[in-house]
Structure 1
């Protein structure tokens, strides 16, 4: 049986929402493996002088726990 864990992260980009999502996946992938999906929970932008300066996201990242890792923790 697969176990899926969900963590919540905050990501940002000065380019776009898509880039902020890509940044989230890139950074989380450095320490988390087996990522299955990213759910964008909330989006906000920062505005200065009538222009968007930063795109910000709150994301839920779902990933499968390795079978080996689960067995080590229960042993």
Structure 2
């Protein structure tokens, strides 16, 4: 029976939400295999001196657990 685990990753980027999501995925794939989707749980912008400073996301990332792991 396949088992799926879900982790949360928090990431940010100075240019866009898309870049923030890519940063989350890029870090997670360094140590986790079998990722086939990303669900963005929350979006937020960080404000500095009255302007958007960076874009942040909280992502849920499910991945399949290999047998014997």
- TM-score exceeds 0.5: yes
Runs of 4+ with deviation above 3 angstroms: none
Distance 1:11 1:29 in 2: 14
More helix by share: 1
Within-5 A mapping of 1:1-75: 1-69=1-69
Unaligned runs of 5+ in 1: 70-75
Unaligned runs of 5+ in 2: none
TM-align CA RMSD: 1.1
TM-score where L is the length of structure 1: 0.84
| CA deviation after TM superposition for structure 1 residue 51, in Å | 2.0
| CA deviation after TM superposition for structure 1 residue 57, in Å | 0.7
TM-score where L is the length of structure 2: 0.91
- Count of paired positions: 69
| CA deviation after TM superposition for structure 1 residue 49, in Å | 3.1
Distance 1:21 1:68 in 2: 30
Distance 1:34 1:67 in 2: 12
